[in-house]
Chain A
Amino acid sequence: MTFLALGFINAWRNLNRSALAALGMGMAAAVTVVALSLSAGYPGGAAYEYRRFVGGDVLIYASGHQVRETHLTGEKAPGSLVWRVLPRDPGTHLADFHPELFTVGTLMPAGSPPLMDPDAIARRALAEPAVRAVYPRYSLPALQETAAGAFKRELRGRNLELDRAVWRFERRVVAGRYFEPGDAGRPVALVDARAADVGLPAAAVGSTLRLLVPRVRYGPDGQPWFDYAAAEPVELEVIGLYTVPTRWRNLNTGHIYGGVAPAGTRGVRQYYWVTPQVLVPQETLLALFAAAGGRLPMPVAEVALVVHNLAFVENAVRRLQRLLPEHSVISTVRQARLANQAGRPERAEAGAELFQAGYAGPAFAVEVDFGPALVGLVFGIASLMMVANLLVVVHGRRREIAVLKAVGAKSREILTMVLVEALTVSLAGVVAGFLLVQWMVAVNILTSRPDLAAVGLTSARTLGWLVLLAVGFSLTFGLVPAWRAARLTVMEALRTR
């Protein structure tokens, strides 16, 4: 403990001499924050709220109901695709995203399977190295009958583990609570707090939501379809209300930004994506499907993927599309932008207000991720600066170290002391670099440039990575001066002036 304290004291005592080394670490930290932020799609940007709600960075659709470039330009290959309003409604709300398709249905190559076996898709998608995880998106159509009439709803299963670990969907719960692990399989639901904005019946926390779930039938081709004539009532307890804030507008400048308006910002209008979805735990949805006569495993119309590095998501999409030619693959970011071009999907507001300039895809794509190499390089350079500095500092303190050894310090304790010093300088530099980026973020927010600020928005994960890198590099590189200090010959050092 004494030597930890001595290392810490020495670091602070010599901080002016170690300033250059700390500065190097600070620069390395700043580069790392930006690299990590970009790879994560920077939390404030890259359609983060859309991805959070959809539950994936990339979506695979059973068939080609998503519009590809040919359809946007009207160059449909004759006979290759048909638009079909499905009797077995797959319930994909993502048709709402589309600039042209506003009804539930699908545009698919003739004869292609309209639903997918999630396990088979997962196996094939995971062959792509950019894919971190695959999650089926389970959904069931449902009707809500009220005195005012019948409303089309959609039961959507949430993967609670994924929500907890990646998307933190609980942050979007504005009343009541998010699902707990014990809710898996129970008849509990979350509904959109702003449902009334799109003409749907409002719900309160603690109320009971009564829905009609159609019977699942199987056609001669083995494909399921939904029989509304034989719908069964289902009762769900509403445990919470959520919202999906997607974009906001600076009313003074007219600029539109992604995500949630910074707290306390004046003169803004927040837009929300409101859907008829009723969220239930995935296990609950599978149980409802089975109770309605469905056979497990439940086929799905959509599969969501989480990728390792969002900076390269479009590359992953291209490779996945080659890997899965019978399905449609699109990134959530691109899908959101396509929707945004048409002033959608925030239906509660006037579409024209949100209409933005066209989205151009990347002109070219770099296939290699230089992020980790860049981070390694800058940390390597910073560590070498730190080693050079420590060697000088340790040489200047030879006598002091010799005294410590003479009065009983062990070699490993001297080693610890110098490593703590290296660690302290590194961490001080890293924290300074991190704070520098945060300061730039704050300046950008204050000067109404939150689009830039988003690049620096960091998470605990980023800070964790920084600390890990600083500790790893400083301990590894600091071993050289620490070892030299530990091996010091006492009498030689003490007898020289």
Chain B
Amino acid sequence: MSPAVSRLPEGAATAALAEPVLRAVHLNKAFYLGETIYAVSDVNLAIGQGEFVVVTGPSGSGKSTLLSLLGGLDRPISGDVILDGHRYSRFNENGLANLRRTKIGFIFQFFNLIHHLSALENVLLPMSFAGIPRRQRLERAEELLDLVGLGQRRHHLPLQLSGGEQQRVAIARALANQPKVVLADEPTGNLDSKTSEEVGRLFARFNRELGQTFVVVSHAEVFHAHAHRVLHMHDGRIVRVDQGQRG
């Protein structure tokens, strides 16, 4: 499928805010599986500071691939991503790693905590990578765990926590370095509906109170209530942009 086909009207996905913190410019990602498959096809996107954007769409529509490109975990075949003025195409692997550790927070479906480290140590980890002084990072990690309601369980190992609690630790870890944007890939995909609601509310709270920018890939509608925009993807393209309930 050509990336030029079925493009959104110019500016549809980029119209939200005047000062985008994260932009995708003609982003393309293809895989060769007997034939060339475009997982992300000519995506243009601008996400403003403090915006809460949900990306939704059927399985295989390219949501997670888009997220990995936005997070600098993967390289596009063409196009570029600009985060806080930094063009990914100008960075090597080390440069992207530096961006990830200082400007991006990740939240995953399977929580992906380091299972031999306590909740506190998991939250401390990205701050250690960023070279934040020990005392300062300890204070911040404890504060974040308090904010997600796990202050009393900071010394528990992930396997001693429920799924929802693990995801809350993952949220605290993602926020540790005060990133420009938090990218969440199906954060409630492994949680029951009640816990999903709690996680959704937690996202909304950090977005409202801290002005934290969120890009959430999710099937679940639990996030729609908190989103400014909802982007619908199909066959690697953003085919529709809806106003979220906060939009």
- Measured CB to CB, the residues of A under 8 A from B are 2, 9, 13, 399-400, 402-412, 489-491, 494-495, 497
Interface string of B59-92 (1 = CB under 8 A from A): 0000011001001011000000000000000000
Name the one of B64, B93, B94, B101 contacting A407, with C-beta atoms under 8 angstroms.
B101
Q: Find chain A residues with CB under 8 A from B129 CB.
A: 2, 407-409
Q: Are A408 and B73 in contact (CB under 8 A)?
A: no
22 contacts between A and B (CB under 8 A): A2-B129, A9-B116, A399-B110, A404-B114, A405-B97, A405-B100, A406-B71, A406-B73, A407-B126, A408-B97, A409-B97, A409-B101, A410-B93, A410-B94, A410-B97, A410-B98, A489-B74, A490-B68, A490-B74, A494-B112, A495-B64, A495-B185
Q: Are A408 and B126 in contact (CB under 8 A)?
A: yes
Q: Find chain A residues with CB under 8 A from B110 CB.
A: 399, 494, 497
Q: Find chain B residues with CB under 8 A from A404 CB.
A: 114, 125
Q: Find chain A residues with CB under 8 A from B68 CB.
A: 490-491
In angstroms, how far is the closest chain B Cβ from the Cβ of A415? 12
Answer whether A400 and B97 are a contact pair too, CB < 8 Å, given A406-B73, A406-B106, A407-B129.
Answer: no
Name the one of A2, A408, A491 contacting B100, with C-beta atoms under 8 angstroms.
A408
Q: Find chain B residues with CB under 8 A from A405 CB.
A: 73, 97, 100
Q: Find chain A residues with CB under 8 A from B128 CB.
A: 2
Known: A403-B114, A407-B126. 4 other contacts (CB 8 A): A407-B125, A411-B94, A489-B74, A491-B74
Interface size on B, residues (CB 8 A): 29
Cα of A497 to Cα of B97 in the assembled complex, Å: 24
Q: Find chain A residues with CB under 8 A from B64 CB.
A: 491, 495
In angstroms, how far is the closest chain B Cβ from the Cβ of A316? 54
Q: Are B173 and A407 in contact (CB under 8 A)?
A: yes
Q: Are A408 and B130 in contact (CB under 8 A)?
A: yes
Task: Determine if B108 is an interface residue (Cβ-Cβ < 8 Å).
Answer: yes
Task: Determine if B14 is an interface residue (Cβ-Cβ < 8 Å).
Answer: no
In angstroms, how far is the closest chain A Cβ from the Cβ of B190? 9
In angstroms, how far is the closest chain B Cβ from the Cβ of A74? 79
In angstroms, how far is the closest chain B Cβ from the Cβ of A371? 42
Q: Find chain B residues with CB under 8 A from A410 CB.
A: 93-94, 97-98
Q: Find chain B residues with CB under 8 A from A403 CB.
A: 108, 112-114
Name the one of A13, A408, A489 contacting B101, with C-beta atoms under 8 angstroms.
A408
Cα of A404 to Cα of B130 in the assembled complex, Å: 12
Cα of A412 to Cα of B97 in the assembled complex, Å: 11
Q: Find chain B residues with CB under 8 A from A491 CB.
A: 64-65, 68, 73-74
Cα of A2 to Cα of B130 in the assembled complex, Å: 10
Cα of A196 to Cα of B97 in the assembled complex, Å: 77
- Measured CB to CB, the residues of B under 8 A from A are 64-65, 68, 71, 73-74, 93-94, 97-98, 100-102, 106, 108-110, 112-116, 125-126, 128-130, 173, 185
In angstroms, how far is the closest chain A Cβ from the Cβ of B121? 10
In angstroms, how far is the closest chain B Cβ from the Cβ of A8? 13
In angstroms, how far is the closest chain B Cβ from the Cβ of A403? 5
Q: Which residue of A lies closest to B94 (CB)?
A: A410
Q: Give the one of A408, A410, A411 with max B CB within 10 A.
A: A408
Q: Which residue of A lies closest to B69 (CB)?
A: A491
In angstroms, how far is the closest chain A Cβ from the Cβ of B81? 15
Q: Find chain A residues with CB under 8 A from B65 CB.
A: 491
Q: Which residue of B lies closest to A497 (CB)?
A: B110
Q: Find chain B residues with CB under 8 A from A494 CB.
A: 108, 110, 112, 185
Q: Find chain B residues with CB under 8 A from A409 CB.
A: 97, 101, 129
Q: Find chain B residues with CB under 8 A from A411 CB.
A: 93-94, 97
In angstroms, how far is the closest chain B Cβ from the Cβ of A219? 79
Cα of A400 to Cα of B155 in the assembled complex, Å: 19
Answer whether A13 and B126 are a contact pair too, CB < 8 Å, given A406-B106, A407-B106, A491-B73.
Answer: no
Cα of A405 to Cα of B65 in the assembled complex, Å: 17
In angstroms, how far is the closest chain B Cβ from the Cβ of A411? 6
Cα of A291 to Cα of B94 in the assembled complex, Å: 71
In angstroms, how far is the closest chain B Cβ from the Cβ of A37? 40
Which 9 pairs, one residue from A and one from B, show the smallest C-beta to C-beta distance? Answer: A408-B101, A410-B97, A2-B128, A407-B126, A491-B68, A408-B100, A408-B129, A403-B112, A490-B73
Q: Find chain A residues with CB under 8 A from B108 CB.
A: 403, 406, 494
Q: Which residue of A lies closest to B190 (CB)?
A: A497
Q: Find chain A residues with CB under 8 A from B109 CB.
A: 495
Cα of A2 to Cα of B71 in the assembled complex, Å: 23
Q: Which residue of A lies closest to B124 (CB)?
A: A2
